Structure 1
Amino acid sequence: MKDKRYRLTEFFLLFVVFPATLPLDYAIWVKLILGVIGFLYVVWVLVRVEKIELFNSLKLPWRPFWKRILVIFPVVVGLTTLYVWLFAPQHLFFVPLENQLLFLFILFVYSVFSVWPQEILYRTFFFKRYGDFFQSTYLLIFVNATVFCLAHLFFRNTLVLVLTFIGGIVFGLTYLKFKSTTLVTIEHAIYGNWLFTVGMGQMLGFPGIEN
């Protein structure tokens, strides 16, 4: 299963073929089943073949990680708040102000059932399985961000694709720097949950405010 030809086929099926089919009009339950099967396969390969420890929260470089967050997060807050204020002011902080239970539910579901699986697949699995395909770190990050963006095609929203491509670059750099699923998941959750907080959740597929 570590043969290069096998891994190339695996990459093509998991990161190109399946995401490209998601915008197609076929039963949602079929998409969910295929997604669950794919994710279980990824976890199995990581644990049994690659011998990766998925929950590595101890002895992590917390201080440099939080310093990185304190540099990037204010930029994210400023740019996204300005964007919502300029283009959709009626959405600004709508959910946390109007429906706190829904807001907390969104944060929980997104963090547990979206962020963590995404980082397992697109960072831990991707870099472990395909990192040796690339001699250039820049190309590795670019391809990772591209396939991460491709996974969001089903939203059919240009802004979502732009955000996920930028996010893919940021999260890819974080993972390469710290080699930790835990840390990159926390970072992803912080930025993603902020988008729901500021009022951009609806464009990312979560409930917010009616148009």
Structure 2
Amino acid sequence: MENPQEKIGSLQRRGFWRDLQSLWQGLGLTWRHLFQARERRSPLHIADPNYFQQDTGVVTLTYPYESLPVPENGRYRLHNEIDDCIVCDLCAKICPVDCITIESVKATEEIGETSDGTKKRLYAPVFDIDLAKCCYCGLCTTVCPTDCLTMTKVYDFAEVDIKNMIYHFTDLTPEQAEEKKKLWADQQEAIAVAKAEAMKARQQQKGE
């Protein structure tokens, strides 16, 4: 029968050689990677047919001097082309996190047309997108009738102050917005006065 002390010694020797073998394998792997680090992988898009052919070389990019290409249909920072916006409010209504704030002012004169020929009847004194709240679902871009709301390729827009994550898109200054509101109110008042006078004139004609 084997002596317990001899059995323990045998197990310790086997454990020592197993550990030594593991260390040697790890050292070999480290030296192999150091040898391969003489070359660098090219920053290829994952759709590139050569993407998986680069199985050696340094992977890490020197960001921000290098960056991987981003997909054309990726969902990143939102942008609103305000000249094409008809202020329909559909994007704000469909947003699941309420990150879009819109105020509108009705125009008393002809504003113009969007790039697709849609008539513009409203000004946007306020069109804010809070990208700190945005969940990048893309629903707002889907419902936009003039395709003025799009997601750009910009994905790195970190800010120290969270208030800087609110992006402002507007076609009026605050002073212009107040002026347009006053013009609309004056026009509506004039219309109401004209209607009242017309009604009074008709009643007088009936009385005669």
Smaller-chain TM-score bracket: under 0.3
TM-score, normalization: structure 1? 0.20
| Structure showing the higher helix proportion among its residues | 1
Normalised by the size of structure 2, how large is the TM-score?
0.21
Which has the higher Rg, Structure 1 or Structure 2? 2
Give the number of the structure with larger relative contact order, counting CA–CA contacts within 8 Å between residues 6 or more apart: 1
More strand by share: 2
